[in-house]
Chain A
Amino acid sequence: MAKLRLLFVKENQASYISHLDLMRTFQRVFPRGGLELRHSQGFHPHPLISIVLPLPVGQSSECELLDFEVEQDVDGSGVADMVNSGLPAGLCARECYRVQRPARDLAYLRASIELDYDRGVPDGAEDKLRELFSREEVLVSKRTKHKELTEINIIPMIKELEWSRREGRVCVLATVAAQNPGLNPALLGTAVCAQLPGLAPDFTRVRRLELYDAQMDIFR
């Protein structure tokens, strides 16, 4: 018996696989490689498998974490390679190891957000963007779990923003709260559309880069 954690990349086509579908995919991958998932007890046993911080559909990530329990007493070595022979395109396991830290220690995540402008970045965009996110309050409407619309202030959930600019694109490296409550980095783009309609990008691309604990040490 072992509690394992899998670090994996989710990108390209796989960024469109939803959370539920991703769980289903992994449930099939482990048995294929001879790892037997542990199941919960009770009337409707289900495999013990969970994703530490589900990634919104459409975003990519270099650091997804999947926790799962197996019947065998193993330390995870060799699992990443085994898994990689059975994954859909766009998913790639990097490492697998015994769970050392509880998921609740995860405090921040870093993501890159790219705002694309097909007709070039509008003049003065960066200054306006910087100004927007230096306010005390930026409200963004968001659906709750019960599908109701609410307004949330995203500023307290932002720890750090680093702006840069490339051809036709403004990039921001954002460090934001990961949970309780966490901020979906895509909401920065939503905020821009709502507050600075003139700077609404043609396309917003989000990639999760790293996970941290409260001390800003890398979380694994």
Chain B
Amino acid sequence: MQKPARYVGGEFNAVMKDLSEVDTRIAYCFPDTYEIGMSNLGMRILYGVMNNMEGVWCERCFHPWGDMEEEMRKEDIPLYALESFDPIGSFDIIAFSVGYEMAFPAILNMLDLAHVPLRAEERGSLTPLVIAGGTAMYNCEPIADFIDIALLGEGEDQVPELIELYRMARREKWSKQELLCKAARLDGVYVPGLYDVTYHDDGTVRAITPKDGAPAKIRKRIVQDMDKAYYPVRTIVPSTEIVQDRIMLELFRGCIRGCRFCQAGYVYRPVRNRSRELLARYARESVEDSGYQEMTLSSLSTSDYRSLVELCDELEPFCAHKHLNLSLPSLRADNFSMALMERLQKGRKTGLTFAPEAGTQRLRDAINKNLTEDDLLESCRRAFAGGYNAVKLYFMLGLPTETDEDVEGIADVAAHVMHAWRESATNKNRGVRITVSTSWFVPKSHTAFQWEPQISIEEYERRVALLRERMNTKTVTYNWHPSPTSFMEAVLSRGDRRMCAVLESVHRKGATLDAWEEYFSLERWLEAFDECGLDPHFYANRTREHGEVLPWSHIDVGVTDAFLWREHERAHEGVTTPDCRTRCSGCGASSMIGRACDG
């Protein structure tokens, strides 16, 4: 069996409780492997929040890898929680953390492995209550029939409220329906079963109608003040290597940039900062508690943190003393970021990664990617002069308004980077490695591109071929994935409730960890769509009308539809929108905190 240590728990700081003092047991499930789930900061936060509640024991549960699943099914071992090894089917609440749509099949499979009926309507009693949160819940329609409650937004305040309501329901012997109706009145709580969805003949949504007192719009919940929000200083230190095996210090939430394709950029608005003093304290305390040797300053766009330099000044001596590496997750191509990166990397010259996303300034303007080729080349020159000899460049193919010129522009960018190396490399004998990777653009809900079609696979492959042809130089490596996963991602991320039947069917056909190429099968999905009489292209490749009721129209992330449509129009006009720090564009998100953003 591969990596057995991920199935045995017992890690440092795993929370153990005495069952005689526990009245509410929660299985916190991550529909992916241990290494992925344990790398998720949100999961670590809510694990701490829930276990800080008296009488509540929150335990972890992950999707087993195929070899383990096979063993469990053969030996009839139901899915168990890592702390107590008790089967999660008998817990009070089963809570999923869902960050991406391709994890939907894993949710169904975990319920199945836990011997819990899949459909919410088949689970009549209060236990187990199946809830789900995470960014994929901003459009959870494709799994709406399987979950009792979806939590929208940030869970720090909301999850304890829901748990208290659940306890009250048990004390006062409410029916499940009573609980659901009352839960629907909490902010950020979406009970899919309390909404009727009707469709036009052409398959588009006619109306989403609330019933039993559920609100017409459900607004996401957020943490108002990051300085008062829980941060997991004491956190589990896995005994086996995970993907993000380091302290993740979260500087701020939200992003000031406004890239038009980026769902995270919109749904995490508004920007809320943590104070530098507090961050420095958390950093020290977490290092001391965990013994970790590495810390990453995490956020959507870390270099936008206002007092980043001061924070690093403060952390550096301490880190040097503790042999601790400080790292930045993503890098903007500008002088400020480059200087900071050089300082933190201290001679460790690993490769550099930039994400220009598009090959021409016109298209970068259309997607509001605030990056010029000059900035990029300047950063590369600086890096090459400093001894770096590897650069990775990430682009997307199929962005709205993309033309062949834009595609070929990617090759030009790579050639210019090559040129920059010739100009400025200090040691040319070592050669240079320039890697260009392209992914297939997936339009997401709640973005300026939520109305846009994804280009077809044939068109995607034509553009890949075009780029390949343009890039036939040996010094540039071109990576692209013939990734049908991106197509299914486009289908699921803007799917409607009728797709639940597809999910159930694809589950019965054996879908499990579909976020992994090892397990994904396009044929299986296509068969399932066929069986259910639905057309995946309707979801992925159709241009939606302005004004069309979208399956997620009742979900309010704080950013107004009018703003998104305006951004959509500006994209087609090739007009950029300034970042939130330069000028507020009035997206609506500040209404969630009742003060200016980014304070």
Chain B contacts for A27, CB-based, 8 A: 291, 293
Indicate which residue in A30, A58, A86 contacts B12 across the interface (CB closer than 8 Å). A86
Chain A contacts for B12, CB-based, 8 A: 25, 28-29, 86-88
A17 and B291 form a contact (CB under 8 A): no
0 or 1 for each of B6-50: is its CB under 8 Å from A? (1 = yes): 011111101000000000000000000000000000000000000
Interface size on A, residues (CB 8 A): 29
For the complex, what is the distance from the CA of A202 to the CA of B520, rounded to whole Å?
A: 34
A29 and B5 form a contact (CB under 8 A): no
Of B218-226, B237-245, B473-481, the one contacting chain A is: B237-245
Of the candidates B9, B10, B241, B288, the one having the most CB atoms from chain A within 10 angstroms of its own CB is: B10
Indicate which residue in B5, B9, B292 contacts A18 across the interface (CB closer than 8 Å). B5
Chain B contacts for A187, CB-based, 8 A: none
For B291, give the chain A residue with the smallest CB separation.
Answer: A28
Shortest CB distance A125–B (Å): 26
For B289, give the chain A residue with the smallest CB separation.
Answer: A32
A14 and B322 form a contact (CB under 8 A): no
For the complex, what is the distance from the CA of A24 to the CA of B3, rounded to whole Å?
A: 15
Shortest CB distance B146–A (Å): 32
- In the complex, A90 has a CB within 8 A of chain B: yes
For the complex, what is the distance from the CA of A38 to the CA of B6, rounded to whole Å?
A: 30
Chain A contacts for B293, CB-based, 8 A: 27-28
B291 and A18 form a contact (CB under 8 A): no
B322 and A31 form a contact (CB under 8 A): yes
B290 and A17 form a contact (CB under 8 A): no
Asked, given contacts A43-B347, A90-B10, whether A21 binds B240 with beta carbons under 8 Å apart, the answer is yes
B239 and A58 form a contact (CB under 8 A): no
For the complex, what is the distance from the CA of A57 to the CA of B12, rounded to whole Å?
A: 19
B291 and A45 form a contact (CB under 8 A): no
Shortest CB distance A20–B (Å): 8
B5 and A28 form a contact (CB under 8 A): no
Indicate which residue in B11, B240, B241, B291 contacts A32 across the interface (CB closer than 8 Å). B291
* Interface size of B as a range: 20 to 34
Chain A contacts for B9, CB-based, 8 A: 13, 89
For the complex, what is the distance from the CA of A16 to the CA of B240, rounded to whole Å?
A: 9
A17 and B347 form a contact (CB under 8 A): no
- In the complex, A128 has a CB within 8 A of chain B: no
0 or 1 for each of A26-57: is its CB under 8 Å from B? (1 = yes): 01111110000101000101010000000001
For the complex, what is the distance from the CA of A89 to the CA of B245, rounded to whole Å?
A: 19
B291 and A13 form a contact (CB under 8 A): no
For the complex, what is the distance from the CA of A30 to the CA of B237, rounded to whole Å?
A: 14
B10 and A30 form a contact (CB under 8 A): no
Chain B contacts for A21, CB-based, 8 A: 5, 239-241
Chain B contacts for A20, CB-based, 8 A: 241
For the complex, what is the distance from the CA of A43 to the CA of B7, rounded to whole Å?
A: 36
For the complex, what is the distance from the CA of A43 to the CA of B346, rounded to whole Å?
A: 10
Indicate which residue in B4, B237, B292 contacts A58 across the interface (CB closer than 8 Å). B4
A29 and B291 form a contact (CB under 8 A): yes
For A45, give the chain B residue with the smallest CB separation.
Answer: B323
Chain A contacts for B323, CB-based, 8 A: 37, 39, 45, 47
Chain A contacts for B237, CB-based, 8 A: 25, 28
Shortest CB distance A19–B (Å): 11
Shortest CB distance A197–B (Å): 22
Chain A contacts for B10, CB-based, 8 A: 12-14, 88-90
B291 and A86 form a contact (CB under 8 A): yes
For A31, give the chain B residue with the smallest CB separation.
Answer: B291
For the complex, what is the distance from the CA of A127 to the CA of B293, rounded to whole Å?
A: 54
B229-287 at interface with A (beta carbon < 8 Å): 237, 239-241, 245, 287
Shortest CB distance A91–B (Å): 8
Asked, given contacts A28-B290, A28-B291, A30-B291, whether A57 binds B4 with beta carbons under 8 Å apart, the answer is yes
For the complex, what is the distance from the CA of A195 to the CA of B347, rounded to whole Å?
A: 56
B8 and A32 form a contact (CB under 8 A): no
B291 and A88 form a contact (CB under 8 A): no
Of the candidates A21, A28, A87, the one having the most CB atoms from chain B within 10 angstroms of its own CB is: A28
Chain B contacts for A32, CB-based, 8 A: 288-291
Shortest CB distance B592–A (Å): 39
Chain A contacts for B14, CB-based, 8 A: 89
Chain A contacts for B291, CB-based, 8 A: 27-32, 86
Apart from A14-B239, A88-B10: 18 A-B pairs, beta carbons within 8 A: A16-B5, A16-B7, A18-B240, A20-B241, A22-B239, A24-B241, A25-B237, A27-B291, A28-B290, A28-B291, A29-B12, A31-B288, A32-B288, A32-B289, A32-B290, A32-B291, A37-B323, A57-B4
Nearest 9 A-B pairs (CB), nearest first? A89-B10, A28-B291, A13-B8, A32-B291, A16-B4, A13-B10, A88-B239, A16-B5, A31-B291
Task: Please name 21 pairs of A and B residues whose Cβ atoms are closer than 8 Å in the assembled complex, sorted by A.
Answer: A13-B9, A13-B10, A14-B10, A16-B5, A16-B8, A17-B240, A21-B5, A24-B241, A25-B239, A27-B291, A28-B290, A28-B291, A29-B291, A31-B287, A31-B291, A31-B322, A37-B323, A86-B12, A87-B12, A88-B239, A89-B9
